[in-house]
Amino acid sequence: MNVLIAGAGIGGLTTALSLHAAGIDDVTLYESVSEIRPLGVGINLLPHAVRELTELGLGDELAELGVATSTLSYFNRHGQQIWTEPRGRAAGYHWPQYSVHRGRLQLLLRDAVLERLGADAIRLGSPVGDARSEGGRTSVAVVGGPDAGTRVTADVVIGADGIHSALRRQQYPDEGAPVWNGLILWRGTARVRPYLDGLTMIMAGDAMQKFVAYPLSAVGDDGLQTVNFIAEYRSEDPEPGASDWNRGADPSAVLGRFADWDFGWLDVPAVISAADEILEYPMVDRDPVERWTFGSQTLLGDAAHAMYPIGSNGASQAIIDARTLAFQVGTVDSIDDALGAYEAERRPRTTALTLSNRSMGPEQVMQLAYERAPGGFGDIELVVPYAERAEIANRYKQAAGFVPELLNERASLTVPVPADD
């Protein structure tokens, strides 16, 4: 069986590694950029995704690359704590939760693909489009680069080509641009003194304005660590800017919005001021669709279910898609049945998550605290009782598939490959 994957992002690369682990070696990735550079800033890998990468044999590399998150805490815009919970191993998972640099994770996955599948497995500078399924196989057109104008045929074609997916657009030509919720995200990294225990992810604010921070490195000899931040605010503009992950922003505009957000335990303006560069991105997603699979082609990752970066699930869900797809392809006899089972497992779950993220997912507690006590509170228990806060946190873990006991006990998605005689 040969498989063609459109896009060598986190989803596409993990799919290639997962198929290889399931015994399928004839896998080629077509990637539009001519060089994979460590772009982006931080992302989070939740324990369900860390489990999958660990079972792909990347646990040690991941531990070197990432910072194991100890705690997740929510605060209001005055720095008062609304909710806190342990994360990763501290919460009883068998796997940690990591904050990692997105681009470095992509390079780690790329190197593993080249090592395991061979130097020709990734065709750079080769955007693809126009996928046509016929007679049980699918051909795609290479639409740029040295092979532009040729068509490539494969038994299975996977569209892992991100939020602006060409393969999705072909099936949903009237879909248009991603859907914007009016929020602008300013993303950056800064070398600053550690806050709290130096391993905690924090979110402060509400649906109008929010600041997220998490460490991306250990504390250095200079007493500083790299902290990733996302400053969000609700824009008055009627239209979003381009949803391009690498668009720069004016730091003074960001600072102006957060000038009085010094909580004592975290000085938000100081973090923003220390940023090397700030990137701007509108908070966009895609409406869930009713079908991913068309003949022997399907969609995966952001191409299938781009969601708001709420609850830290974008990259994690792409990784779980990849492992689920490879498990089905590696264990089910017919390709139609395998792709059908993959979609039946993943589409309802990611649809529910996309919709949950639209109503703030686990961050709903922040909005409730704001609506009930906009000026701050003396005792959070009198504003949003513990049972209500815990219910919101647990419901999201259920939807996203990372309830500790369920994840720890769930059967592995590794396909048993018979040993050679």
Ligand X SMILES: Cc1cc2nc3c(=O)[nH]c(=O)nc-3n(C[C@H](O)[C@H](O)[C@H](O)COP(=O)(O)OP(=O)(O)OC[C@H]3O[C@@H](n4cnc5c(N)ncnc54)[C@H](O)[C@@H]3O)c2cc1C
Residues that bind ligand X (CB under 6 A): 6-12, 30-33, 39-41, 43, 102, 127-129, 160-162, 166, 187, 245-246, 301-302, 309, 314-315, 318
* Percent of the chain as helix, strand, coil, to the nearest 5: 35, 25, 35
Give the nearer residue to ligand X in terms of CB position, either 122 or 204: 122
- Residue 226 tokens, joined: 């790299």
For ligand X, give the closer residue by CB, 117 or 383.
Answer: 117
Closest distance to ligand X from the beta carbon of 71 (Å): 20
Tokens found for residue 160: 């892992």
Token couple for 233: 């605010």
Can you say whether the dihedral through the CA atoms of 378, 379, 385, 390 is positive or negative? positive
Task: Give least dist CB 54 to ligand X, A.
Answer: 18
CB of residue 215 to ligand X, shortest distance in Å: 15
CA-CA distance, 374 to 371, in Å (whole number)?
A: 6
Q: Which is nearer to ligand X, 201 or 315 (CB)?
A: 315
144 Cβ contact partners less than 8 Å away, ≥ 6 residues apart: 32, 125, 126, 127
CB of 21 to ligand X, least distance (A): 18
Task: Please choose, from the candidates 379, 380, 358, the residue with its C-alpha nearest in 3D space to the C-alpha of residue 369.
Answer: 380
What radius of gyration do the chain's Cα atoms show? Answer: 21
CB of 147 to ligand X, least distance (A): 12
Pairwise CA distance, residues 200 & 198, whole Å: 6
Choose between 129 and 240: whose C-beta lies nearer to ligand X.
129
Nearer CB in complex with ligand X: 76/324: 324
- Give the shortest CB-60-to-ligand X separation in angstroms: 21
Tell me the C-alpha distance between 15 and 102, whole Å. Answer: 17
Nearer to ligand X, 315 or 366 (CB): 315
Quote the least distance from Cβ 404 to ligand X, whole Å.
24
Shortest distance (Å) from residue 106 CB to ligand X: 7
Between helix 335-358 and helix 314-331 the angle, nearest 10°, is 160
> Token pair 């391009």 is at which residue?
244
Q: Which is nearer to ligand X, 33 or 289 (CB)?
A: 33
Q: Which is nearer to ligand X, 162 or 330 (CB)?
A: 162
- Report the alpha-carbon distance of residue 339 to residue 335 in Å, rounded: 6
Name the nearest CA neighbour of 54 among 66, 42, 41.
66
Closest chain position to ligand X (CB): 9
Could you tell me which residues come within 8 angstroms of residue 85 by beta carbon, excluding any fewer than 6 positions away? 71, 72, 73, 91, 393
- Show the tokens assigned to 285: 């997603």
CB 155 within 8 A of CB 1: yes
Q: How many CA atoms lie within 13 A of 51 on its CB side?
A: 24
Least distance (Å) between residue 233 CB and ligand X: 17
Comparing CB distances to ligand X, the nearer of 123 and 389 is 123
Q: How far is the CB of 162 from ligand X (least distance, A)?
A: 3
Enumerate residues 6+ apart whose C-beta is below 8 A from 93: 47, 402, 404, 407, 408
Nearer to ligand X, 76 or 99 (CB): 99
